[in-house]
Amino acid sequence: MSKTPHQNSFSLRFVLEKDKLNGSNFLDWYRNLRIVLKQKRKDYVLEKVLPEKLRSNASHAVYDAWNNHYNDVVDVRCLMLATMNSELHKQYENVASPIKMIASLKAMFQEHARTERYQTVKSLVECKLPKDAPVSPLVIKMMGYIDNLGRLDCPISQELATDIIMQSLSSSYDQFVVNYNMNYLTKTLTELHEMLKTAEHDIKKGAPHVLLVQGGKRFEKPRKDKGRGKAVQIVNQDKHVSSCKPKSGPADVDKCQYCKEPGHWKRNCKKYLEDSQEIENMYETSS
């Protein structure tokens, strides 16, 4: 027995249902909510306000757009309520707009998230590796703080995260840091962790650490051409220029997906452009 579109909707809602909103997990719940809505192309409901009224002479396209938006608002509101704990459900069951619900929830729980973010940043920048201490536990702890900042809607770039980890190292790793920066290596934090464990092993043995690039090859500077004194460059000889010419337009048998008339694409359809503009005007008039 095939499922109807309604039965197929919100196939990712289990992500929200397994960890209902209880106050302390607002950021995780909100992030998962947006993932679920994006899958069903309904995330616009959290940003676009549904107009209260339509003009009496509104076109069919405008009426259909308004009706679809209204149905999506109902779906999203019910999903939000169903994935809250009972106390929050009672508090928001009479709020009709998902946008107003999110604004209220942010005002209620954002202060808690701000405090947690501050404490996470503070703990991250205070991480320091004592001399002769193992490097792995420190790096793992710092990676946890970095992941937590992403969860708190405060992600930091991989490059900045690498710099923060590097500056936390003891002076025993100075040569490793110099080599890493000179070679302009771009590694994930997991790869950096493995490299630091290798460097730690070399430092304990008293051996100079040779920085390796991906694939296990030693980093080498470009060789000089004795005849010209210029760095040898490898030129890709396999470049291929396609001789295929782009189509100038749809064939006569092709039909527009919007108006079903042959001879043009949807993006060039006059009716589609007119209806789209009228729908945009609907939202602008209501704002």
Co-location of 199 and 105 in the same domain: no
The length of the chain in residues reads 287
Co-location of 263 and 183 in the same domain: no
- Boundaries of domain holding 281: 252-287
242: Cα within 13 Å, side-chain hemisphere:
3
- Distance between start and end Cα atoms, the chain: 44
Kindly state the DSSP code that residue 226 receives in the 8-state scheme: T
Co-location of 187 and 157 in the same domain: yes
Co-location of 77 and 13 in the same domain: yes
Co-location of 109 and 78 in the same domain: yes
Closest to 153 measured CA to CA, from 33, 28, 42: 28
Q: Decide: residue 187, CB within 10 A, 0-12 exposed, 13-18 middle, 19+ buried.
A: middle
Q: Decide: 37 and 46 in contact? Cβ < 8 Å.
A: yes
In tens digits, the chain (287 residues) has pLDDT values of 444 444 444 456 677 777 889 877 888 888 889 888 988 899 999 999 998 878 778 888 989 999 999 999 999 999 999 999 999 999 999 999 999 999 999 888 877 778 888 999 999 999 999 988 999 999 999 999 999 888 777 889 999 999 999 999 999 999 999 999 888 678 899 999 999 999 999 888 876 555 544 444 444 444 444 444 444 444 444 444 444 455 555 555 578 888 888 888 888 888 888 888 888 888 876 65
For residues 116 and 151, give the distance between their C-alpha atoms in angstroms, rounded to a whole number.
Answer: 11
Strand partners, 84: 21
Co-location of 206 and 282 in the same domain: no
Co-location of 8 and 51 in the same domain: yes
Tokens of 277: 């503009």
| Residue 247 belongs to a domain | no
Kindly state the DSSP code that residue 29 receives in the 8-state scheme: H
Based on the structure, what is the number of domains in the chain? 3
For residues 36 and 15, give the distance between their C-alpha atoms in angstroms, rounded to a whole number.
Answer: 8
Co-location of 181 and 149 in the same domain: yes
